[in-house]
Amino acid sequence: MLTLPLLIFMGLPPNIANGTNRVAIFIQNIFGTAGYKSKGMHTYPFSIYFGISALVGAIIGAKFAIDIKGETFNKILAVVMLVVMAFVVYKPKFHTEIQERLTGKYLWYGIIAFFFIGVYGGFIQAGTGFFILLALTSINRMSLLRSNVTKTAVILIYTASALITFAYYGKVNWTYGLSLALGGATGAWLSSRWAVKKGDGFIRIFLIVVVLIMSVKLWFF
């Protein structure tokens, strides 16, 4: 919700900003997946099944994002940011059933759901994590921890296809993308400690203010 509009405000055309943003997301999820695996946490093979389904959808979504007009994309992004912000502020409850449902029809329900999540993620990415958690906890009844492990792997897989698609059409600024990845990693390390001191309430207020300002700018300017 923050990095994509920031890249647009820095002067990148919306479709290039969208592609450039995937560089940081891809690198972030490489480290996230590796971190979970180092602790013995994985959901193989289900993360692969869902990831491949999302990968196919992401190619479709990315191609649509490349072809859409910049002004139209900015308005869609403004609306999406407000919707996702509402999820962050009101924190939806996720099911945390112990008995997982990862076979038979529930496996196929998940695969179908992840195809559409992939289409959305390939198109815009913002808020995809919430939709993945909702799908995994509601359809497949994964615990929140295992859902997060799966989410990281799935995003890594489908972001690879989205990034390749954007790069193929020349819609990635690699200098900005790698700088964003490095800055995001450094900033996350520092701000995570600062956020603990300031508290969850302060972070939500900060997010609301910034997202509202960015949404207004995207829509009207």
Report the pLDDT value the prediction gives residue 78, as an integer from 0 to 100.
87
Residue 125 has phi, psi (to 5 degrees) of 75, -45
Residue 220: C-alpha distances to residues 76, 136, 212 (Å): 12, 36, 12
- Where are the alpha helices (H) located in 68-103, listed in sequence order? 70-90
pTM beyond 0.95: the answer is no
Distances (CA, A) of 74 to 10, 21, 63, 152: 14, 15, 16, 26
How far is 206 from 221, CA to CA, in rounded Å? 22
What pLDDT is attached to residue 189? 63
Confidence at residue 92, expressed as pLDDT on a 0 to 100 scale: 65
**Rounded to whole angstroms, how far apart are CA atoms 2 and 132?**
19
Q: Which of 60-69, 174-183, 210-219 has the lowest mean pLDDT?
A: 210-219
Dihedral angle sign, alpha carbons of residues 61, 65, 67, 68: positive
Specify the 3-state DSSP secondary structure of 99: coil
Q: Using alpha carbons, select from 61, 66, 172 the residue that is nearest to residue 126.
A: 61
Buried/exposed 90-124: b ≥16 CB within 10 Å, e otherwise: eeeeebeeeeebbeeeebeebbebbbbbbbbbbbb
User: Per mean pLDDT, which range of 28-37, 69-78, 167-176 is the poorest?
Assistant: 28-37
Average pLDDT on 58-80 reads 91
Q: Which two tokens stand for residue 74?
A: 């900015």
User: What pLDDT is stored for residue 200 in this prediction?
Assistant: 57
Mind spelling out the 3-state secondary structure of 180-219? HHHHHHHHHHHHHHHHHHHCHHHHHHHHHHHHHHHHHHHH
pLDDT digits 0-9 by tens, 101-111 = 888 999 999 99
Q: What is the mean pLDDT of residues 4-14?
A: 90
Cα Rg of the chain, angstroms: 17
pLDDT of residue 116: 96
Q: What is the pLDDT of residue 93?
A: 67
Average pLDDT over residues 166-173: 95
